[in-house]
Amino acid sequence: MTKQEFAEKLAAQAGISKATALLAIDCIFSTKAGEGIIATELDARRRLTVTGFGTFATRYSKARQGRNPQTGAPIMIAARTSPSFRAGKGLKARVADIPPTPAPEPVRERWQY
């Protein structure tokens, strides 16, 4: 689903215009500095919990030593902060009811041996 399709569905369900729906989506999900509610909360290192849906938070990974897979040479991996999402009980229960679909067959090139 694209942002436009999301706005159309939101507009239809809430009985608002598509422009208002797009504004609401931007107010929540924008990643521009000082705009999106979720991003602003994560910038301040605060959690945002939507009961039944899930929790947005930040995770910190400290610096560590890794290895270049091509050369095997040791490298330092820098510390970083990344966003995380943990699904809530209601969302997990709803998705658990979806029947599993088999994985698609890998595409093989004609000349692959």
CATH of residue 71's domain is 4.10.520.10
| CB burial of residue 29 (10 Å; 0-12, 13-18, 19+) | middle
How many structural domains comprise the chain? Answer: 1
Note the pTM of the prediction, 2 decimals. 0.73
- The answer to whether residue 56 sits within a structural domain is yes
- The answer to whether residue 89 sits within a structural domain is yes
* Domain of 86, in residue numbers: 47-94
- The answer to whether residue 57 sits within a structural domain is yes
pLDDT at 111: 65
Q: Would you give per-residue pLDDT tens digits along the chain (113 residues)? A: 899 999 999 999 999 999 999 999 999 999 998 889 999 999 999 999 999 999 999 999 999 999 999 999 999 999 999 999 999 999 999 988 888 888 777 777 766 55
